[in-house]
Amino acid sequence: MPALVLFSGGQDSTTCLAWALARYDRVETIGFAYGQRHDVELIVRKRVLDRIRAEFPDWAARLGEDQVLNLSEFGAISDTALTREAEIEMTAAGLPSTFVPGRNLVFFTYAAAIAYRRRTPVLVGGMCETDYSGYPDCRNETLQTLARALSLGLDWNVTIETPLMWIDKAGTWALAHELGGERLVDLIVEETHTCYLGNREHRHEWGYGCGTCPACELRRKGWEKWQTEKS
């Protein structure tokens, strides 16, 4: 069975890509250029894919086409800290200013349209309720309801898999190690990008980033917890 992975080039989506490659016969990837201020993730995507092909021959045989869709108009209508030079803070709505309304809904809808044409019934995403920032479009209920809506709208069964939904960031590091050992962990540390500010100048033991934005703090704390649990 084939699968299509929503692949940003970050830690979570790279772990999900490895998870899919361990389970499905053919795995394709899709990314989105939506005007994100941390657009360096669009650059690191290719490096991640190249290293997977070079260092994991069994996965390389299953790894298919990658494409990036230009959704810049979506970013233009999103007044958020991920699409504007704005402070990362909590808003009056009780959500962080990094919340991009409708982003995951749009991403999965585009992915489903491509998957329909390619007869690929499984979509894979790195959304998570355990360590998420309160984003309502990361909730399991949201995504499974969306899967039902897409299935109805396409008159074709669409499955949305979220392997990280119920594990924390330490569990994500552990899953990566379980799937690909130290080689995959090293790849994630050196190549993936999570930092909201797009910082690739500072290298920490857990990877590159500013070290202070919510995404960096989450990644760092997960790394430290995982290191403690391993010892």
- Residues linked to residue 2 through DSSP beta bridges, in sequence order: 26
* pLDDT for residue 197: 87
Question: Within its chain, how far is the Cα of 45 from the centroid?
Answer: 11
Provide the pLDDT for residue 214.
87
pLDDT tens digits along 7-32: 999 999 999 999 999 999 999 999 99
Q: How many residues are given for the chain?
A: 231
CA distance 179 to 11: 14
Q: Give the whole-angstrom CA distance, residue 117 versus residue 132.
A: 32
Summarised one tens digit per residue, pLDDT across range 209-218 is 999 988 999 9
Backbone angles phi, psi at 33, to 5 degrees: -100, 100
Amino acid at 191: E
- Look up residue 74 and give its two tokens: 């979506």
- The C-alpha angle 43, 44, 46, rounded to 5 degrees, equals 80
Identify the structural domains of the chain with CATH numbers, from first to last.
Answer: 2-194 (3.40.50.620)
- Residue 82's pLDDT is what? 46
Residues of the chain predicted below pLDDT 50 = 81-82, 89, 97
Pairing of strands 159-161, 207-208: unpaired
pLDDT score, position 37: 57
